[in-house]
Amino acid sequence: MPNNFAQSIMRKNKKQNRKIWIWRLEWEENIAKQLLEKGYLTIGYYPFLKVANEICDKKHNFDECCAKIGYQSFRGQAELEDFCRIMLKGDWIIILNFPKKGSFSIYELLEYQAKPISEITNTVLKDLSVKKSEIGLVDLKGYPIDIGFFRKVNEIAKGLENFRISNIVKENRVNAEYNFPKSTTKKTTL
């Protein structure tokens, strides 16, 4: 790969005025990685499938949707809202430790909002050891899998070395959204 790889990516990104989000696959990591290989970025929170349509629709108040199922305030609230509502089509996601530890990959969001995992097709799940049920995804023994929502993505670059992340963000002086699972999202201007 050329030395100016980060610069060339950022030139393209700057022209299109998109956000860059930093993401980790920590919910059901094995299944999440297999789905990402097929072009689907996922997040946990399967109990929220009960109000999935309201959570994904910006017309509804996010906090009220969560309260309907007994979650007044929870640790990953900002993260779920970002994934379902704030991330936009065209934004780039830098996925840490994918495809292997010590590397990262870049994907572009292809959809304007998240969809509940119940809308994923059976052909996507065909090679995985999961199936759909009324509660979302379950493994072959019937145990729930904590994947609640997905977004369709397109691979930009895969298997890059981690030290280049700072170059990608600094070259563009972008607002980078750092998403640390199971905590709040932090916004940093570099």
**CB-CB contact of 162 with 1 (8 Å):** no
pTM score, two decimals?
Answer: 0.79
pLDDT of residue 111: 92
Domain boundaries, the chain: 5-189
For the record, the structure tokens of 128 come out as 């995985």
Q: Residues 36, 25: contact at Cβ < 8 Å?
A: yes
Nearest to 96 by CA among 164, 44, 151, 148: 164
Rounded to 5 degrees, what are φ and ψ at 43?
A: -140, 160
What phi, psi does 174 have (nearest 5°)? -90, 165
Question: CB–CB of 24/97 below 8 Å?
Answer: yes
The pLDDT value given to residue 8: 59
Question: What residue has token string 């759909």?
Answer: 132
Q: How far is it, in rounded angstroms, from Cα 144 to Cα 84?
A: 21
Low pLDDT (below 70) residues in the chain = 1-17, 162-190
Whether the CB-CB separation of 26 and 185 falls below 8 Å is answered with no
Q: What span, in angstroms and rounded, lies between the C-alpha atoms of 51 and 109?
A: 23
Output the pLDDT for position 53: 87
